[in-house]
Amino acid sequence: MHPFPPTEDLPNLVGDEIIQIWLDPHAVRFLFGAGVQLYVEEAYELTEPGGTPWTYDFGEAGPVFLLQRHLYQPIVTLKREDFRLTLSMEDGAKLAIVSNRGQYECGHFQWPDGKIQVF
pLDDT score of 55: 85
Could you give the number of structural domains in the chain?
1
- Quote the pLDDT of residue 71: 92
In order of 42, 93, 104, the CA distances from 115 in angstroms are 21, 29, 20
Task: Report pTM.
Answer: 0.89
Q: What is the reported pLDDT for 62?
A: 57
- The whole-angstrom separation of Cα 66 and Cα 72 is 14
Q: What are phi and psi of 36, to 5 degrees?
A: -70, 140
What is the span of the domain harbouring residue 53?
7-118
**Nearest-CA neighbor of 54 among 69, 40, 41, 38?**
69
Mean pLDDT over the full length of the chain: 90
**Residue-wise pLDDT tens digits, 49-63:** 999 998 888 766 555
Residue 76 sits in a domain of what CATH number?
3.20.190
Tell me if 1 is assigned to some domain.
no
Q: Residue 81: what pLDDT?
A: 96
Q: What is the rounded CA–CA span in Å between residue 111 and residue 36?
A: 5
Which parts of the chain register pLDDT below 50?
none
